[in-house]
Amino acid sequence: MRKSLIRTGLAGVLSALTLGGTALAGEVVWWTPNFNEARARELVAKFQESHPGITVNLQITTTDGLPQRVLTALQSGAAPDIIDVQHGWVTGYAQNDLVLPLDDVLKDRADYVPASLDYVTYDNKLWGMPYRIESLAVLYNRKHFTEAGLDPAKPPQTWEELQTAAQALTRDGRSGFAITGGGEVGNTIFRSMPFMWMNGGGILSQDGTKVLVNSPETVAAVQFYTDFYKNKLSPASTLENDGTANRRLFIAEKVSMYQAGQFDVKSIQTENPNIDIGVMIMPHPAGKDTAAVLGGWSFVVPKDAKNPDEAKVLVGFLSESANQGFLTDTFPARLSAMDLPRFSDPILQVYKQMLPFGRPVPNQRNWVQISQAYFDGIQRILLGDEDAQTAMDEAAEEIEGLL
């Protein structure tokens, strides 16, 4: 069986161990992704002014390969004190006894979007502190719609309409609808799994006990997703492309539609202000509801953190409403932070409309490995090695062994 094109090797493992380092007394080592770096540095400076006895050692991670690097660090005994992780990874860490509960840090529970807390709760304990929530929508170039004879005020609502629009938009060296097939695994999970859910399928049942990845409903959704590449409606570079690559193609006006978070909007507006950006709800099968992965990020404190008490102080500071609203570049997990002026931009309203359709990924301790098995199957389809049914049957066999 051909494995993923992208695997984390020994270099990634050594990198994870090196990043963790050895914390000094009173020092909090905080891993945060590179997209947070500028805002995180401002918050660290603010924190240290009010907490002179705690030194924060900020270390920057990248999302590509991050799930395995974090898991390696947590299992190594050389973990940092705080790590930013995607919500869906948290309960797996809890079930494997790798992180500390944070119930004593949570303040104002009623001020949090309930789903964000549910996501990181296991065995009636809170194992992560959510600070960011999001769902994807579809960004489109309104000018391209007009050029293709489509009405930009009436974007596709159904799968059939999305296919038709993608075909009309694929012209003059442009791709109509870009999917992801490379980069960090979560890119493809977040973009393809909603199509499964809309169609009554999924990778696993929501309780994480039953494999659905090779069910007729799921295979039909996988076929729908991967056919955009097979039918040359998605870029030739799809096998390498993650969400960032698709954004760059959209900015270069080589792609007319792609799934994106609101975090992409500012970059597009800055790098190509001439694009008239449209935002549409994720198209769905006729007669069925749309769906999205409720994504986002939480802070976790590893069980082997050298300074867990100081780490909790910093997590509490970062979770204050104003600080949380400042740190996230999507929506904050706290309702009061959602009232900040930066979240009232009209272009964000479709993203707000998508939030009620967001679902968490299944609660399963081996979700990182399970999602990798599914991603490997997607790559085999895109490579032309296997059809959708065969690839998902292989993924199902591998996933069964992980339950």
Residues of the chain above pLDDT 70, percent: 94
Residue 395 pLDDT level (bands cut at 50, 70, 90): very high
Is residue 6 over pLDDT 50? no
Query: What digits encode the pLDDT tens for the residues 264-273?
Result: 999 999 999 9
Question: Residue 114 burial (CB < 10 Å; 0-12/13-18/19+)?
Answer: exposed
Cβ density class 214-248: b for 16+ within 10 Å, e for less: bbebbbbbbbbbbbbbeeebbbeebbebbbbbbbe
Nearest to 283 by CA among 357, 386, 333, 223: 357
208 versus 325: the higher-pLDDT residue is 325
Is residue 20 over pLDDT 80? no
- DSSP calls for 2-28: PPPS----HHHHHHHHHHH--PPTTEE
Q: Residue 330 to residues 139, 263, 266, 345, 403: CA-CA distances in angstroms?
A: 15, 6, 11, 12, 32
339 versus 299: the higher-pLDDT residue is 299
What is the distance between the alpha carbons of residues 302 and 311, in angstroms, rounded to a whole number? 10
Mean pLDDT of 190-197: 96
Only one residue has tokens 């990634």, namely 12
pLDDT confidence of residue 131: 97
Cα atoms in the 13 Å half-sphere on the side-chain side of 247: 16
What is the distance between the alpha carbons of residues 117 and 360, in angstroms, rounded to a whole number? 11
Residue 21 pLDDT level (bands cut at 50, 70, 90): very low
User: What's 235-287 look like in SS3?
Assistant: CCCCCCCCHHHHHHHHHCCCEEEEEECCHHHHHHHHHCCCCCEEEECCCECCC
Fold classification of 137-293+366-400 (topology level): D-Maltodextrin-Binding Protein; domain 2 (3.40.190)
Torsion of CA 143, 149, 155, 161, to 10 degrees: -140
What is the distance between the alpha carbons of residues 74 and 263, in angstroms, rounded to a whole number? 28
Is residue 10 over pLDDT 60? no
**Out of 17-31, 138-152, 226-240, 342-356, which region has the weakest mean confidence (pLDDT)?**
17-31
Is residue 25 over pLDDT 80? no
pTM reported for the whole predicted model: 0.76
Residue 359, number of CB atoms within 10 A of its CB: 17
Stretch(es) of the chain classified as CATH 3.40.190.10 = 10-134+296-355, 137-293+366-400
Answer whether 87's CB lies under 8 Å from 190's CB. no
- DSSP calls for 295-356: EEEEEE-BTT-SSHHHHHHHHHHHTSHHHHHHH-SSEESBTTGGGSGGG--GGGHHHHHHGG
Residue 18 pLDDT level (bands cut at 50, 70, 90): very low
Residue 149 pLDDT level (bands cut at 50, 70, 90): very high
Nearest to 358 by CA among 136, 129, 157: 136
pLDDT confidence of residue 114: 87
Is residue 14 over pLDDT 60? no
pLDDT confidence of residue 65: 84
Fold classification of 10-134+296-355 (topology level): D-Maltodextrin-Binding Protein; domain 2 (3.40.190)
Is residue 278 over pLDDT 60? yes
The Cα diameter of the chain in Å comes to 65
Mean pLDDT of 298-305: 97
pLDDT confidence of residue 24: 62
pLDDT confidence of residue 363: 77
pLDDT confidence of residue 359: 86
Mean of pLDDT over the chain: 91
Measured in degrees and rounded to the nearest 5, phi and psi for residue 33 equal -65, 160
Query: What digits encode the pLDDT tens for the residues 177-188?
Result: 999 999 888 899
Is residue 282 over pLDDT 80? yes
pLDDT confidence of residue 102: 98
pLDDT confidence of residue 19: 45
pLDDT confidence of residue 16: 40
Instruction: Please name the residues in contact with 127: beta carbons below 8 A apart, sequence gap of 6 or more.
Output: 90, 91, 93, 94, 99, 100, 101, 102, 120, 121, 300
Is residue 308 over pLDDT 60? yes
What is the distance between the alpha carbons of residues 316 and 310, in angstroms, rounded to a whole number? 10
Is residue 22 over pLDDT 80? no
Query: What digits encode the pLDDT tens for the residues 96-134?
Result: 999 999 999 998 999 998 889 988 999 999 999 999 998
Query: What digits encode the pLDDT tens for the residues 310-320?
Result: 999 999 999 99
